[in-house]
Amino acid sequence: MEDISKKLEYKKTNGWENKDINKDTINEHNKSYMEFLSNYKTERQAVSYCIDSLKGKGFTEKTGNNFFITHKEKNVGIVRMPNNCDLTKGVNIIVSHLDCPRLDLKPNPLYEDTDLAYLKTHYYGGIKKYQWVSRALAIHGVIYNKEGQRIDISIGEDENDPVFFIADLLPHLSSKVQEDKKIKDAITGEQLNLLVGNIPYIPDEEEKDKKSSVKLNILKLLNEKYGITEEDFTTAEIEIVPAGKARELGFDRSMIGAYGHDDRVCSYNALQAIINAKNYDKPIVVWLVDKEEIGSDGNTGAKSAFIKQIIKQAFINLGEKPDAINIDECLFNSLAISGDVTGAYDPDWKEVFESRNSAKIGYGVSMEKYGGSRGKSGSSDANAEYVTKLRLLLNKNNIVWQTGELGKVDEGGGGTVAKYLAEYGMEIVDMGTPVLAMHSPMECCSKLDIYMTYKAYKLFLEKA
Ligand code: MN
Ligand code: MN
């Protein structure tokens, strides 16, 4: 007898139940991803990883059919073109972001109070401030000295490095000043001060009029090691991130706990997808952007004109003359995935999720037709024809996938870069990996979902 339920009902199950899953392949893929997460924590570092990977696979900068192009060390566009392709018919493009929520140093960060030296920070992106206190933090960034020479700084990742931290108040004294406050006020932005030292510089005999100074000792140490002075901070880009490596999570090691899944997970998988893509008959593009976490503004964000530079370079490499019309034509006719993570259903916070429509950990890569908030506001809402095309493609190729929507209606919401790319007229939909504890110092993703994100992206580039 016909199983009418199987024929008519749409049921999703835990992806690990799927008999075709190869756990070894999944683990191998995730091992490399964890190395990437552990060793490349800023957008500049992530771009350098991309460049090294691409060069290692025979891609060339700005030339040839397999090329990459970078911008300000914070963007990378990767293009592969079959011979005799017609760019004006559009490309298949995945756009993901490399920036992550973090703390940045202020231009005048260093000060001393009660013999403790601190660095003042200004947070970047949507963080819950209380999550950043009393934990090991690392410093990464670029700083230019008085001669304009660049110094790259990375302290706190090696186990022999010192780490830094922001002190929370002890519970013994926090009942009045902290515990009755709203959680968003429990730690303020101006309390996110990084503790960096306690030993004072002691003036010698001839400097009798001077006082001992912890701040001065820190500057002395920094000058000895990096040749920098206090003024150099004013123009530096220094990011404070959780120290330490990505870790397997759970007795069954089914998940990865790490800083930066949002959106390194989609960026990494998009990079691997375009590197490993085969038999694509259209030009394929991956664009990894910066500034998504602060609204995609700036000349390295998804609203910038760099996408046109990528397409312009593609025309040049094909020996064709790029102009405003054919670049627009290419973008207008393109198919796109906005590769970004989504908040996974959290059983401890059922009240904010709608279980039928939330992406779940372990249920595969998630496709979100729309995002936004309060009635899809600020969302590009993909077309039925396009999401159907992708759905059929995913099903035909046994990709474990699900639909996702960020929380209950009117509960909150969020946006991605999809709407900025949609302005060019291309078809675009969000597709990415579900994350638990998104935007926290330790986010959690399923290894299966991560691998399925890779599979889905590769399939999209090759066959969409
Ligand atoms: Mn994101
Ligand atoms: Mn985000």
- pTM comes to 0.97
Mean predicted confidence (pLDDT) in 321-346? 98
d(CA 464, CA 457): 10
Mean predicted confidence (pLDDT) in 454-462? 98
d(CA 53, CA 34): 15
In this predicted model, which residue has the larger pLDDT, 2 or 359? 359
Q: Grade residue 2 by pLDDT with cuts at 50, 70 and 90.
A: confident
Give the ligand with the smallest distance to the CA of 102.
2
Is residue 356 within 8 A of residue 12, CB to CB? The reply is no
For residue 425, what pLDDT is reported? 98
| Ligand 2 mean position, distance from CA 416 (Å) | 8
Residue % of the chain over a pLDDT of 90: 96
For residue 210, what pLDDT is reported? 82
User: Could you read off the pLDDT of 57-110 as tens digits, one per residue?
Assistant: 999 999 999 999 999 999 999 999 999 999 999 999 999 999 999 999 999 999
Distance of CA 247 to the CA centre of its chain: 17
Give which of 286, 307, 339, 301 is closest to 424, Cα–Cα: 307
Mean predicted confidence (pLDDT) in 273-289? 97
Mean predicted confidence (pLDDT) in 101-124? 98
For residue 239, what pLDDT is reported? 98
For residue 208, what pLDDT is reported? 75
Give the ligand with the smallest distance to the CA of 266.
1
| Ligand 1 mean position, distance from CA 432 (Å) | 9
Mean predicted confidence (pLDDT) in 377-401? 97
Distance of CA 192 to the CA centre of its chain: 22
| Ligand 2 mean position, distance from CA 444 (Å) | 13
Which run of H or of E encompasses 120?
A: strand 116-124
For residue 58, what pLDDT is reported? 97
| Ligand 2 mean position, distance from CA 283 (Å) | 28
User: Quick one: DSSP state of residue 336?
Assistant: E
| Ligand 2 mean position, distance from CA 415 (Å) | 9
Q: For the chain, give the mean pLDDT.
A: 97
pLDDT at 211 over 80: yes
430: β partners: 338, 368
Which residues, by Cβ under 5 Å, contact ligand 2, an ion?
262
d(CA 345, CA 360): 5
pLDDT at 1 over 80: no
Is residue 240 within 8 A of residue 105, CB to CB? The reply is yes
Backbone angles phi, psi at 439, to 5 degrees: 70, 15
| Ligand 2 mean position, distance from CA 3 (Å) | 42
| Residue 449 Cα distances to 55, 382, 454, angstroms | 28, 22, 9
Range list of H helices, 101-213: 174, 183-186
For residue 209, what pLDDT is reported? 78
For residue 360, what pLDDT is reported? 98
| Ligand 1 mean position, distance from CA 78 (Å) | 20
- For 22-45, b/e burial (b = at least 16 CB within 10 A) is eeeebeebbeebbebbbebbbbbb
Can you state the percent helix, strand and coil of the chain, rounding each to 5?
35, 25, 40
Give the ligand with the smallest distance to the CA of 125.
2
d(CA 319, CA 135): 54
User: Could you read off the pLDDT of 244-265 as tens digits, one per residue?
Assistant: 999 999 999 999 999 999 999 9
Give the ligand with the smallest distance to the CA of 339.
1
d(CA 353, CA 356): 9
Question: Which domains occur in the chain, in start order?
Answer: 4-100+259-463 (3.40.630.10), 102-242 (2.30.250.10)
Mean predicted confidence (pLDDT) in 186-199? 98
For residue 96, what pLDDT is reported? 98
For residue 37, what pLDDT is reported? 98
Residue % of the chain over a pLDDT of 70: 100
Beta strands in 13-65 (DSSP E): 60-61
| Ligand 2 mean position, distance from CA 100 (Å) | 7
Dihedral sign from CA coordinates of 276, 439, 370, 288: negative
User: Could you read off the pLDDT of 140-179 as tens digits, one per residue?
Assistant: 999 999 999 999 999 999 999 999 999 999 999 999 999 9
| Ligand 1 mean position, distance from CA 120 (Å) | 26
For residue 93, what pLDDT is reported? 98
User: Could you read off the pLDDT of 290-326 as tens digits, one per residue?
Assistant: 999 999 999 999 999 999 999 999 999 999 999 999 9
Mean predicted confidence (pLDDT) in 44-69? 98
| Ligand 2 mean position, distance from CA 301 (Å) | 13
Burial class (CB in 10 A: 0-12, 13-18, 19+), 261: buried
Mean predicted confidence (pLDDT) in 125-138? 98
| Ligand 1 mean position, distance from CA 32 (Å) | 21
